[in-house]
Amino acid sequence: MKLSEVRGIVTGGGSGMGRAFVLQLAAAGARVVAADINAQGLAETAQAAADLPGTVHSVEANVADEDSVIAMIARAQELMGSVNVLVNNAGIFRDGLLVRVDRATGKVKGEMSLSQWKTVIDVDLTGPFLCTREFAKNAIDNGIKDSVIVNISSVARHGNPGQSNYSAAKAGLVADTKLWAQELSRYGIRTGAIAPGFIQTPILDGMKPEMLEKLLSTVPLRRTGSPEEIFAGVRFIIECGYFTGRCIDIDGGLVL
């Protein structure tokens, strides 16, 4: 599939990597629905895309809410006439150790709350499940024979201390990428995942320089990646018709 043929949805399109994906697709002539829970972020994305050759539509949506996802897919179909690409990018962090022990007493003084666990799982794993289910239903019911799902996982899927919730969600997303490839290929739907490492987004922009330097010391390339470099992986998955069910690591060589 050529990028100019994309009629796609990018969740989390109001900021960070999601915004970069929307703009890169629009620059290639695609029609894109930027979906996000943040209306202000969506407005900024749309403004940034105003002079690009493609078309960007904004749809407010909460990927963790079933009714909101159903409405998002229906609205995208209405706006673009067809939907053939889904980028499951929306994600959140609620980091914390499973248990925190007081060094002085040796007793547990804190823990990852159930709310921290469920909030991340709801957005980062249940969200892609809902979006993919509704996207697949729409593609099959409308006779779309060539469509693509791109799941944004993370290097943290291997397990990263302080991220029990996030690691579980991102590992599950890669497993689902393989599973959905097996289930959906018969309908002309391909899947792929990308596992980014440390990417220069607003989250890292707010980090203290000394903390960022320590973080990057574990990366063989000794730098962060850019959202545009991650989009190179998105582009490959969309364009390569013989790719499905696999995860591409774009992480500067980082090993967790």
Which residue among the candidates 117, 166, 180, 198 is catalytic per the annotation? 166
Cβ 192 vs Cβ 247: under 8 Å: yes
108 Ramachandran zone, left/alpha/beta (phi>0; psi -120 to 50): beta
Is 166 noted as a catalytic residue in this protein?
yes
167 Ramachandran zone, left/alpha/beta (phi>0; psi -120 to 50): alpha
Which of the residues are catalytic? 166
